[in-house]
Homo-oligomer: A and B are copies of this chain.
Amino acid sequence: MKVVNLAEKLAQFDAHWQPKVVADYNGNDIMVVKFQGEFPFHEHPDTDDLFLVLAGEVLLDVEEETHRLGPGELFVVPKGVRHRPRAEREAQVLLIEPRNTPNTGDPATAAVKERI
């Protein structure tokens, strides 16, 4: 039980598309991640996917639409819905997914979610 400062956590790494677990909530990973460039389209058949932008701008392609999210804006991609995050410049994001959810939707290609 301790205070988690998101900016301090984000200062500990540079890699893009590598979510870092900073807290647990009822079996969910609370993560911070840096986005830059384009992630593959994917879906999570068993879970919603929550994105909260902390800094920068994220483009979220969700099926046929593109949503633009700035700081203080969140989006929940419902389970089974195909999506792809993008960022032209580096963006910082809070992510929530159930523990062990592969970030690409596929365990074979998923990032290891290190705890920091």
Using a CB–CB distance below 8 Å, which chain A residues touch chain B?
A: 1-7, 22-26, 28, 30, 47-48, 50, 52, 54, 62, 67-69, 72-79, 81, 94, 96, 98
Partner of A1, one of B1, B3, B75: B75
13 more CB-based (< 8 A) A-B contacts, given A23-B50, A26-B28: A1-B62, A1-B75, A1-B76, A3-B73, A3-B75, A4-B75, A5-B73, A23-B76, A24-B76, A25-B48, A25-B96, A26-B47, A26-B98
Chain B nearest CB from A60 CB (Å) reads 8
With a cutoff of 8 Å between Cβ atoms, the chain B residues found around residue A22 in the complex are: 74
Partner of A54, one of B50, B72, B96: B72
Chain B nearest CB from A91 CB (Å) reads 14
Chain B nearest CB from A2 CB (Å) reads 7
What 9 A-B pairs come out closest when comparing CB atoms? A25-B50, A6-B72, A4-B74, A26-B48, A25-B48, A23-B76, A5-B73, A3-B67, A3-B73
